[in-house]
Chain A
């Protein structure tokens, strides 16, 4: 019985891509996102205003230094393309966009808080806010795949 059950279970279990497709068709709750944005408004607005797009934070991220030195691994690129986009669109983002941001916020950052910005922007905090917004919509990195 148990073996049968496990076979059935394995067959019924959708692959991660299928799961993502189902998830993408869901609707984003703008009010929920805006509630978090409102709470953290000062942090996000100040950071986006202050960031001079100077790219001096790139070398402070160990992922940038150890992986291919591509823009996607630069701390400022990470927060501008995730939380920056959500803030500028006032929470009106699509599920697809949130799934793209998931890659940035989980796979390209481990929230080690090593990165530093000469202007004093707290980049990890912004990325953590981004993760919180994504989690509120049920979008997060799943560790169960392997």
Chain B
């Protein structure tokens, strides 16, 4: 068996299995915490929802009666648009734009590359709609640019530097490697075979590292943000 056959055969399956098993393991590990937090937070959510109802109603009444009678309804689009500047996007427009773009492309673009879809088709019998080669190249290039933005931000902004550890750079490298090597292999920069091997290997490394490293925020994000609704509640409260 050649090196190519090993890394594109059994190793792909192993990394997918490790990814799925690791994800399930991590969710099960967190289950007691989810249970404990949801029951505890339910109490908070009731009180905060009630508080929101009463205070919002009161505030609106007082405001509209006394001061801003001539202003449009507080729930109107104009009000919501004005509140945008207090949102995370309003505070850090560039970073939020880059992060959103980066995360969406990171998750969805690998499924839309023609080469990957041919492999999916032959291995599983299913495939996703593919993008043209030029468009995939542009998307890959955008991801690399986003990674560069993160790197420059980590290296130059003092606030980010203050909590950056070496693991952050390693994470960034692991995330960027499959795209960089894929880009180089596709355009035959350097040596095609070497780049293809590196592309497959780095993809596998990334997949395996998702449940076991800081990449776990991919999975835990859903739990901490949506299931625990901790932050969602606070955002609601902020609108009072």
Q: Which residues of A contact B (CB under 8 A)?
A: 42-43, 46, 49-56, 58-59, 69, 71, 74, 76-77, 80, 113-114, 116-122
Is the pair B30, A55 in contact by a Cβ cutoff of 8 Å? no
Contacts of A119 in B (CB 8 A): 217, 220-221, 224-225, 231
Interface status of B240 (Cβ within 8 A of chain A): no
Q: How distant is the Cα of A118 from the Cα of B36 in the complex, in angstroms?
A: 21
| Candidates B95, B163, B231, B238; contact of A117 at CB < 8 Å | B231
Grouping DSSP codes into helix (H, G, I), strand (E, B) and loop, the A interface class, with mixed when no group exceeds half, is loop
Q: How distant is the Cα of A49 from the Cα of B223 in the complex, in angstroms?
A: 13
Is the pair A46, B30 in contact by a Cβ cutoff of 8 Å? yes
Is the pair A76, B30 in contact by a Cβ cutoff of 8 Å? no
> CB-nearest residue of chain B relative to A49?
B216
| Candidates B158, B226, B234; contact of A71 at CB < 8 Å | B158
Is the pair B159, A74 in contact by a Cβ cutoff of 8 Å? yes
> Considering only CB atoms and an 8 Å cut-off, how many residues of chain B contact the other chain?
35
Contacts of A118 in B (CB 8 A): 88, 225, 231
> CB-nearest residue of chain A relative to B91?
A59
Is the pair B159, A55 in contact by a Cβ cutoff of 8 Å? yes
CB distance from A36 to the nearest CB of B (A): 16
Q: How distant is the Cα of A136 from the Cα of B98 in the complex, in angstroms?
A: 43
Contacts of A50 in B (CB 8 A): 214, 216-217, 220-221, 224
| Candidates A51, A76, A80, A120; contact of B225 at CB < 8 Å | A120
CB distance from B97 to the nearest CB of A (A): 13
Is the pair B230, A53 in contact by a Cβ cutoff of 8 Å? no
Q: How distant is the Cα of A76 from the Cα of B163 in the complex, in angstroms?
A: 8
